[in-house]
Structure formats: C-alpha cells, structure tokens
Amino acid sequence: MMKKFRAFMHTVLSAAVLCTTLLFSSVAMANEITVYTSYEEDEAAAFLAAMQRDLPDLKVNLLRLSTGDLHARMLAEADNPRHDVIWGWAVTNMVDPRILDMLEPYKPKGIERVPARFRDAQDRWFATTGYMAAFCVNNEVLARKNLPMPTSWEDLLKPEFKGEVVMPNPASSGTGYLQIASLLQMKGEEKGWKYLSDLDKNIAQYIKSGSRPCNAASAGEFAVGASFALRAIKNINEGYPITMVIPKEGAGNELEATGLMKSSRNKAAAKRFIDWALSDSAVDEYYVWKEIVTVSGGSMPEAFINAGLPKDVGSVMVDMDFAWSAQNRDRILQQWQKTLER
C-alpha cells in the first residue's frame, strides 16, 4: 500500500514540476521576440541597450543583415517567417507588395508623433529614422583651385568642376541609388537622364560605397563628394576641412521603417517593442545616431547643427515616391549601367 502511495505521489510531483516548467517556459516565450533589422551594428546595439533599460523583461533576439540580404531572406522565408518584427529597414524595400503582404496593420502608442508622410496609410509600417544625400566639399581644394562653393546639383555642372566630383555607384550603393532616383523624380525622367549625362562629364569616379566619396573629398583628393549627411557631419567633427552642403533642390533620402509580422507568435511582446520604438527614450537615442528623426520630441545634437544640418530636416527632404523607386529600380540601374557606368 505504501509503495502505491509513493508511486502516486511521485506521479503528482512530476506532473507539478512539468506544469511549473511549462508555465515558466510560456512566460519566457511570451516575453521573447525575434527582430530582423538593417540598422548598423553599433546603432542597433545602442538602441537595444536603451530598450532594455525601459523593458528589462523583454528579450530580443536580433538578426542584422544588409538591406538587400534581408530582403532576400524575408522572401525566402515567406512561407514560414521566423521573426516577429522588422525594424529599421529601408522603406523602398518595405513597400514591395510581397513584403507588405507579410505585415499586420498595427497602430502603436504614440503613432501621432510621426507625420503621415512617414507612415503607411494602412498602418503596416512607420518610419522613425533615415538618411539623406549631401555634398562633402573640401574648403582647401576650393581655395587652391579658385572654385565656387556649390549649393545645388545644378552647380556641379559648371565646367570648372570637371574631374572634381565623385559620387556613389547606384548599382552597389543605396546612397547612390537614392541620389539617382531623387533626381529622376524631381526633374522627370527625360530631363533627369539629360542632367545625369551632363553631370557625367564632370565625374571623376563612381565609387561603390556611399561614404567613400565624402572620405575622398575630405582627404583632398577631389573638391566634391556626393554622399550622405551623417558621413559629412562625422568627418567635420573629426576635423576634416569640409563643408556639408544640402543641395538646394532638396535632399534625396531613404527612411528606415518598422512593422509587425502577421505570423508573429508573440504579438503582445512584439507590440511592446514597437510601442517602445516611439517612446521618448528611443527618440533621444535616435538623435545621437541619425540625421533624420521623424518622431516629434527630442533634440538634435549641437554638433549636427554646427555642421550645417537644419533643425527641421523635413524642410530640405525631397518627398520621395518610395514605391516608384522600388518598382523601377531594376530598369533604372540597367539604363544607368548601359549609358553611364565606367
């Protein structure tokens, strides 16, 4: 009789331990999400550290890939997505209809802090950060060669800039592509391609990286490097003799967006993370790392302002048609490679 009782109690205790284990596992899983991002590693680490201070119980498993590689991975996993949130990813990629179909509409807390131009009309994504085109102009080269300070894309067509301009190759650089796409959108395709053909006469090199044209100009190799604003700001702060110029026609730009996956198995936790992305803590951290912050509140670093970035960056940003940029990317790059690449 005693043996049967002990066997019974062992069964009860084992069941209790199993239930407790399952309970804790369920709680752990409920507070654990997988996030895909294309934020740079140092940016993502800083943002997550701030999130962890506010949401210490939320565990985030992060996969960081370049924009193109992440696009390929999401399409490859389309039948069985493995993440809960897509975070800090190019809007040009986000608006791919195949990607949009994976996203669940969600209005996070604080979404009213993001202007309508920076979010999807159906609430499938919103953009909190981004980057934009800018010229890095070497002051010493200008003085030595008696060149005028360029203030616009049109100024770069002046004959005195022949061989003095470098810009990114749009086939390999996201910054290069946004520059080309913004010019075609601002001018219309016929005039835009004519402009690019005329500009080509002054281009010394098309460089694969978005940052290297700025670095080359900063080093005095060329007068002007068409690049992006944050690279210019960093080089100015490091003491290089350059001026950052935002072209007066407007700055082409790319936005970095966030969305909730329909397939998420931990939607409550995923929504907490997405809500946090619009919090004061998040916005404060964005301003440390990004030249474009779309969320109201926070303050731009003095170093950014001193380098020439306007406090209202929206006032100098081109209203990009990201869907057009995405739909026409292959065609535009093929035409550019056929007519201009060298």
CATH 3.40.190.10 fits 11-130+254-299, yes or no: yes
Q: For residue 131, which of 264, 229, 236, 202 has the smallest C-alpha distance? A: 229
In this prediction, residue 270 carries a pLDDT of: 98
How many other β-carbons are positioned within 10 Å of the β-carbon of residue 334?
11
The pair of three-digit structure tokens given for residue 137, joined into one six-digit string:
């102009």
pTM: 0.78
Residue with tokens 């490097």, as numbered in its chain: 225
In this prediction, residue 313 carries a pLDDT of: 87
Give domain limits for the chain. 11-130+254-299, 131-253+315-339
Residue with tokens 């509409």, as numbered in its chain: 105
Polymer length of the chain: 342
Domains 11-130+254-299 and 131-253+315-339 share a fold: yes
How far apart CA 231 and CA 57 sit, in angstroms, is 35
In this prediction, residue 55 carries a pLDDT of: 98
Superfamily of domain 131-253+315-339 in CATH is: Periplasmic binding protein-like II (3.40.190.10)
* Cα radius of gyration rounded to whole Å, the chain: 24
229 neighbors 291 (Cβ within 8 angstroms): yes
From the number of C-beta atoms within 10 Å of its C-beta (0-12, 13-18, 19+), residue 139 rates as middle
pLDDT tens for the chain, 342 residues: list them: 444 434 433 433 333 333 333 333 444 467 999 999 988 888 899 999 999 999 999 999 999 987 878 888 999 999 999 999 999 999 998 999 999 999 999 999 999 999 998 999 999 999 999 999 999 999 999 999 999 999 999 999 999 999 999 999 988 788 899 999 999 999 999 999 999 999 999 999 999 888 899 999 999 999 999 999 999 999 999 999 999 999 999 999 999 999 999 999 999 999 999 999 999 999 999 999 899 999 988 888 999 999 999 988 889 999 999 989 989 988 999 999 999 988
How far apart CA 10 and CA 16 sit, in angstroms, is 10
